[in-house]
A and B are shown apart, each in its own frame.
Chain A
Amino acid sequence: MNDQAARQLLFQMADDALIMGHRNSEWTGIGPTLEEDIAFSSMAQDKIGHAYQLYSILHRQFGEADVDTLAFGRKEKTFRSCQLVELPIGDYGFSLMRQFLFDSAEVLRYTSLQSSALTSLAQLAVKVKGELRYHSMHADVWVKQLANGTEESKARLQTALNELWPYALGMFEEGDWQEARTTAELGLAEGRLKAQWLELVQAKLKGWNLNVPSDSNPVEGGRQGYHSEYLAPLLLEMTEVFSIDPSASW
């Protein structure tokens, strides 16, 4: 297996999960209802757990730094997360729509990794299957209900979808070493994943009477280390404690 290709993929996935988890955790304590607050916070925690596991693989098998340093001690430029996960939380419909677009892709990606020749990653893909199923179901139920709710809820969702769409397409940007990846080793290539994802989300969105945006220009850059204006302030806030005391524990 090509080590560089594996490294790139693991960083992409880990950084996506970490930043998505951090963003979604911003709803903790201010969610729309108590029960939903608990559910959304718990899923944000799951995402940070996925990041932890992926950074652990990088640390154990690829000689990278320890997990805390990988998560909290890196410069913005070294992050390989897509720009979709960096965007501020917006209104709740925006965060739910992002969860729908993001976790639909996560389910497909992890499913294709269940048979990866990188055993640690294959085992992780099997382990998180149930959690991802719930995350995806959560987004489906909410988006469906709000799309069939009031004029306002439907309009807000459609606005969120239009805004998020180019960023969602950017999830499948090809990073470095993409050509060295094989399906048997590191799962479906970005292009094939994108095709599966498009088919899945377009069918669901149409079923909920939402308009799939015709814009097909992705917002890319994240996989190469080029980020939106929103990542730097997020990292500043997320790493505040670590920056003050890297050995802090609680």
Chain B
Amino acid sequence: MKSLDPRVNRMGAEKVDSAAADENNYWESFEVFHQKKTGTAYVHVGSLQASDHEMAMLLAKEQYGRRQTTTGLWVVKTTNVFVMEPDEIEMFSTTSSKTHREAVEYKVRDKISAFKEKNK
């Protein structure tokens, strides 16, 4: 491959048969959860490809930890995350007479949110 980048020319890389490369690819997808302060919830920040948990953690550290304060990281195989089917979401629709159950209706909600925001 001829490139404008001297490093690529130095490598003497050859064009790879992408089908054959895919066949050799045993890497899996992992989901990454990040905690920015001790005691707070882990938040899903994205995914990455890795050979196993050890490698996933190694790569997650730079990928998701280096641009923000980090007090913890979780990596989980994407196949181990079980997702509710879109049509099952129907179960969450409630009748208007039951909206008192939803915490969003509480009068103090705004204050709680404001307090949480302030203490992030």
- The B23-79 residues at the A interface (CB cut-off 8 A) are 27, 48-52, 54-55, 58-59, 61-63, 66
Count of CB-CB pairs between chains A and B under 8 Å: 41
Chain A: interface residue total (CB-CB under 8 A):
18
Determine if A35 and B51 form an interchain contact, defined as CB atoms under 8 angstroms apart.
no
Q: Does B86 contact A (CB under 8 A)?
A: no
B58 partner residues in chain A, CB cutoff 8 A: 39, 137-138, 141
With A30-B11, A141-B54, A145-B51: A36-B6 Cβ-Cβ less than 8 Å = no
Q: Which residue of chain B has its CB nearest to the CB of A26?
A: B7
Determine if A39 and B7 form an interchain contact, defined as CB atoms under 8 angstroms apart.
no
Q: Does A207 contact B (CB under 8 A)?
A: no
Q: Which residue of chain B has its CB nearest to the CB of A237?
A: B6
B13 partner residues in chain A, CB cutoff 8 A: 30
B15 partner residues in chain A, CB cutoff 8 A: none
Determine if A35 and B7 form an interchain contact, defined as CB atoms under 8 angstroms apart.
no
With A145-B55, A237-B6: A33-B62 Cβ-Cβ less than 8 Å = no
Q: Does A88 contact B (CB under 8 A)?
A: yes
- The A133-185 residues at the B interface (CB cut-off 8 A) are 134, 137-138, 141, 145
Q: Does A42 contact B (CB under 8 A)?
A: yes
Determine if B11 and A33 form an interchain contact, defined as CB atoms under 8 angstroms apart.
no
Q: Which residue of chain A has its CB nearest to the CB of B27?
A: A33
Q: Does A38 contact B (CB under 8 A)?
A: yes
Q: For B62, give its contact among A29, A30, A42 (CB under 8 Å).
A: A42
Q: Which residue of chain A has its CB nearest to the CB of B10?
A: A88
Q: For B59, give its contact among A39, A145, A237 (CB under 8 Å).
A: A39
Determine if A35 and B63 form an interchain contact, defined as CB atoms under 8 angstroms apart.
yes
Say how far B45's CB is from chain A's closest CB, in angstroms. Answer: 13
With A42-B66, A141-B54: A36-B7 Cβ-Cβ less than 8 Å = no
Determine if A39 and B63 form an interchain contact, defined as CB atoms under 8 angstroms apart.
yes
B6 partner residues in chain A, CB cutoff 8 A: 237
A29 partner residues in chain B, CB cutoff 8 A: 5, 7
B48 partner residues in chain A, CB cutoff 8 A: 35
Q: Which residue of chain B has its CB nearest to the CB of A43?
A: B62
Q: Which residue of chain A has its CB nearest to the CB of B54?
A: A141
A36 to B58, CA, bound (A): 9
A30 partner residues in chain B, CB cutoff 8 A: 5, 7-8, 11, 13
**26 pairs, A vs B, C-beta closer than 8 Å:** A26-B7, A29-B7, A30-B5, A30-B8, A30-B11, A33-B27, A34-B49, A35-B62, A35-B63, A36-B59, A38-B59, A38-B63, A39-B58, A39-B61, A42-B62, A42-B66, A43-B62, A88-B10, A134-B61, A138-B58, A141-B54, A141-B55, A141-B58, A145-B52, A145-B55, A237-B6
Q: Give me the interface of A with B, judged by CB distance under 8 Å.
A: 26, 29-30, 33-36, 38-39, 42-43, 88, 134, 137-138, 141, 145, 237
Q: Which 8 A-B pairs have the closest CB atoms?
A: A39-B62, A35-B59, A35-B48, A42-B62, A26-B7, A141-B58, A35-B63, A38-B62
